Chains A and B, each alone.
Chain A
Amino acid sequence: MIVELGHYALVLGFALALAQMLVPFVGLRNNDARFIAVAPSLSIVVFIAISIAFAALTWAYVVSDFSVKNVWENSFSTKPLLYKFTGVWGNHEGSMLLWVLILALFGALVAIFGNNLPPRLKAGVLATQGTITAAFTAFLLLTSNPFIRLVPAPIEGRDLNPILQDIGLAIHPPLLYLGYVGFSICFSFAITALIEGRIDAAWARWVRPWTLTAWLFLTAGISMGSYWAYYELGWGGWWFWDPVENASFMPWLIGTALLHSALVMEKREAMKVWTILLSILAFSFALLGTFLVRSGVLTSVHSFATDPTRGLFILAILIAFIGGALILFGLRASTLRNGGMFHPISREGALVLNNLFLTTATATVFVGTLYPLFIEALFGEKISVGEPYFNMTFGPLMIPLLIAVPFGPFLAWKRGNLYGAFERLWVAAGLSLLVALVFAYVLYQAPILASFGIALAFWLIFGAIADIWAKAGLPKAKPAVAWARLKGLPRSSWGTALAHAGVGITTLGIVSVTTFEQETVLTMAPGETTQFVGYDMRFDSLEARQGPNFVYDHAVFTISKEGQTIGVVEPENRVYVASRMPTTEAGIMTMVFNQYYVSLGNKIEGTDQIVVRVWWKPMVTLIWWGTVFMTIGGVVSLSDRRLRIGAPKKIKPRRVDVVVGGPAQ
């Protein structure tokens, strides 16, 4: 009964989403205020309907109702409760339902918090959002219905893919989807601006917080996915340039570019057309990602199901939305008048440079991801494009960008002074070179490229500190004055500094782990001790144990240095009962930022030996700590009064920061 209710709610959601699309559009066309005013309530009702559908499916999972095909395929009666919840989106149908739920959620958020939006803009945004919701709800109902029943009902389910039975599934997909789907709002704003042929600073004021919201969720989601793959897959890698990873990375890159171009638009009313294009592209890449993951055209750990009709359906949605948006852009973009000009050396110029490199880098990732498909379709030759390609293309494009990052905040709007910026940054530059020399060359005898990478990372970190330092008026200002200035700094300045420092921290982790990582594969029997990177690793025990829905071999290793025990790692090899699928749980010991990573291989038959693979990962956790900084930077910036959602539109006089020589950002 509840399942049917959910099914009904989903159909209702589809019908209401159609209304959410049609009614406001008709209203906009005929300039009928009554039709326009319907949009907010409709989008809230659509959200409620889809929430009911989602709750019904969740209920079916929690009570293990195996008469529902989707539950039977992806659940098991003794599966821990947490995974019954998260299992809802651990499969194709459920994850698409979550996708649609978040889509409707964003529509409802605009409806609720968009009180001071001009009514026509609001209605246009919600109608576009309704169009997307309707398309994807139709996709769910026609090709991926999660509410299909089985008669007779099986008594036991087939269990969730064991790799997904992890806390990571509770966090990674919802965060990622909040990011992906969040860009739909920017898309809807862009479409409305094009239809209305009007775009102003108020528009940018509205788009920026939404971009920021989507961006910070996407950042956290990608980072979480990376850490999950790192500890769960047992391969010790944190990024594989897998097509699906690229699919989430491309919207992130474009989203980052959009974040910066929207800033120019808000402050200077320049780069309007470009910002609109980026808003369209960010969501287009999110749609492309959905297509790549869901259609199964690419070999990946993420493709749950391969069904050609689904792929075609999403491809049709993709072409309709991206194609439609780009045609609209081509027709209407010229009606938007561009704003102020600027000198190439200026804040705007720096942000253009940022956009240039980010979009070009996105293009290289795009080519690398789709080239195999293209070659196969044209020549029938099967190829793969892996890490070396991305290192050769994406890497070199990131270097000039990262070098330029600290300069940006020091350049004034309109016309900046590069020499002046460098005058404030030379301490940061000197310090980072010094750190790189000491750390890399003296300590590790590192190759020159790694030293450069470390210098770059510290340049970003010190550059961000120098930014705040200079804004406080240090070192000239008295401490009390500096403190007052720091307290008075707009939160977005802190956000910028935190996020830029975060990029540096992540870079440091990446450089360190790719250069200094060590790895060994050996066979060990319980009782044996081995030496690795200066630590003694004793294999204490290996025993078979019973988990809730799996059996596993549990190994215990004690790590010690010079007789002092430092820690214990407990890697496992599991075999899940229902699916007979094995998984590896890596044993990881974190020492400050370094990790000692142990994963078990197969047993050597006829002996008590087992293959053990051990990694030393120096500074590896900095990769994720950096993304934590970026995310916090995003949150801090979002909490800025100027951007707070629903804050009254009060235009404060521009504060002129004498020390920086330009308006505070």
Chain B
Amino acid sequence: MTRKQKRSVVIFGALGVLALAVALVLSALGEQVTFFRTPSDLMAGSEDNSGRMRLGGLVVVGSVDNSAGNQVKFSVEDVNHEIEVVYAGILPDLFREGQGIIAEGTLSADGIFLADTVLAKHDETYMPREVAESLKEQGFWKGDEQQ
């Protein structure tokens, strides 16, 4: 092999791997991205609400029902709407009524959000950034004094 041939093997190899990576990234970003939605977004129904998404909002005070044992029901609200969430699993330590959380899962046909993950981060004053911003946009922010 000449010097030139050797070099072109390396270059084409590199281009091949890069092309593979770009293809993988593009297809994965197309399929695997999770959108953030508020209860109002879901109620409005203007977006495509099939597939996985993240639902963010405040846990409605008095809505948490864990009488079913291994399944928890609660509602998440923003200013105008609330939506019922069903979650099978242990809620994170900092899950509290009235606090901002993010639930990840899918929306069922009857409008109940089926969550497989619930995130409430490990900080007393923590408000998930996405939730805080969506509440601010709606003029419902009451978190600044918590900082």
> Contact flags (1/0) for B88-100 with A, using CB distance below 8 Å?
1111111000000
Most buried by A among B3, B24, B128: B24
Cα–Cα distance between A393 and B25 once the two chains are bound (Å) = 6
Could you tell me if B69 and A609 are in contact, using CB atoms closer than 8 angstroms? yes
Task: Decide if B73 is an interface residue (CB 8 Å cutoff).
Answer: no
Interface contact A579-B124, CB-CB below 8 Å: yes
Minimum C-beta distance from B10 to chain A (A): 6
CB within 8 Å for A386 and B34 given contacts A161-B122, A582-B93, A582-B94 = yes
A514 partner residues in chain B, CB cutoff 8 A: none
Q: Cβ of A234 and Cβ of B90 under 8 Å apart? A: yes
Residue of B nearest to A367 (CB): B25
Is A326 engaged at the interface, CB distance under 8 Å to the other chain? no
User: Of B6, B27, B29, which one neighbours A341 at CB under 8 angstroms?
Assistant: B6
| Cβ B29 vs Cβ A371 within 8 A | yes
Tell me the nearest residue of chain B to A388, going by C-beta.
Answer: B32
Q: Is B17 within 8 A of A357, CB to CB?
A: yes
A522 and B128: CB pair below 8 A? no
User: Separation in Å of the A400 CB from the closest CB of chain B?
Assistant: 8
User: Is A584 an interface residue, CB under 8 A from the partner?
Assistant: yes
Contact A344 B69 (CB under 8 A): no
B35–A382 touching, CB < 8 Å: yes
Interface bits B31-68 vs A (CB < 8 Å: 1, else 0): 11111100000000000000000100000000000110
B108 nearest CB across to chain A (Å): 20
Q: Does A583 contact B (CB under 8 A)?
A: yes
Taking A342-B6, A385-B33, A611-B66 as contacts, is the C-beta distance between A161 and B123 under 8 angstroms? yes
> A397-B20, A579-B124 are contacts. A613–B25 as well, Cβ < 8 Å?
no
What is the CA–CA distance of A233 and B119 in the complex, to the nearest angstrom?
A: 12
Residues 118-147 of chain B, each 1 if its beta carbon lies under 8 Å from chain A, else 0: 000111100011100110000000000000
> What residues of chain B lie closer than 8 Å to A378, measured between beta carbons?
none
Task: Flag whether B21 is at the interface (Cβ < 8 A).
Answer: yes
Of the residues A163, A233, A343, A385, contact of B29 by C-beta under 8 Å? A385
* A602 in contact with B122 given A344-B9, A360-B18 (CB within 8 Å): no
| Contact indicator A385/B25 (Cβ below 8 Å) | no
Which of A385, A388, A582, A604 sits near B66, CB closer than 8 Å?
A604
Contact A384 B36 (CB under 8 A): yes
B70 on interface, CB distance cutoff 8 Å: yes
Residues of chain B lying within 8 A (CB to CB) of residue A523? 69-70
A581 touches B21 (CB 8 A): no
A487 to chain B, nearest CB (A): 38
B128 touching A604, Cβ below 8 Å: no
Interface: B111 (CB within 8 A) = no
Q: Number of contact residues on B: which range applies?
A: 35 or more
The answer to whether A12 has its CB under 8 Å from any CB of chain B is no
Q: Mark A476-504, 1 if CB is under 8 A from B, else 0.
A: 00000000000000000000000000000
Interface string of A369-406 (1 = CB under 8 A from B): 00100000000011111101100110011000000000
The number of chain A residues with a CB under 8 A from chain B is 55
Q: Does B109 contact A (CB under 8 A)?
A: no
- The reply to whether A392 and B66 form a contact with Cβ atoms under 8 Å apart is no
CA distance A371 to B21 in the complex (A): 15
The digit string for A562-587, where 1 denotes a CB below 8 A from any CB of B, is 00000000000100000111111000
Q: Given A161-B122, A601-B90: A392 and B10 within 8 A (CB)?
A: no
State the CA gap A602–B21 with chains docked (Å). Answer: 44
User: How far, in Å, is A461 (CB) from chain B's closest CB?
Assistant: 25
Residues in A whose Cβ lies below 8 Å from that of B104: 386
Using A581-B94, A581-B124 as known contacts, say yes or no to A356 and B70 having CB atoms under 8 A apart. no
Residues of B within 8 A of A521 (CB): 70, 88-90
The answer to whether B93 and A234 touch across the interface, beta carbons within 8 angstroms, is: yes
Is B112 part of the binding interface, using a Cβ–Cβ cutoff of 8 Å? no
Cβ of A352: which chain B residues have Cβ within 8 Å of it?
10, 13
Query: Would B6 and A389 count as touching, CB distance under 8 A?
Result: no
Report Cα–Cα, A349/B35, bound state, in Å.
42
Q: Which residues in B have their C-beta under 8 angstroms from that of A579?
A: 124
- Give me 19 A-to-B residue pairs in the complex whose CB atoms sit less than 8 angstroms apart, sorted by A's number: A161-B123, A301-B122, A342-B6, A343-B1, A360-B17, A367-B29, A382-B36, A386-B104, A388-B28, A389-B28, A389-B32, A396-B24, A397-B20, A573-B93, A579-B124, A582-B93, A602-B66, A611-B70, A613-B89
- Identify the B interface with A (CB < 8 A): 1, 3, 6-7, 9-10, 13-14, 17-18, 20-21, 24-25, 27-29, 31-36, 54, 66-67, 69-70, 88-94, 104, 121-124, 128-130, 133-134
Report A's interface with B, CB cutoff 8 A. Answer: 161, 163, 233-235, 296, 299-301, 341-344, 349, 352-353, 356-357, 360-361, 363-364, 367-368, 371, 381-386, 388-389, 392-393, 396-397, 521-523, 573, 579-584, 599-602, 604, 609, 611, 613
A-B complex: 3 closest residue pairs judged by Cβ atoms: A382-B36, A601-B90, A392-B28
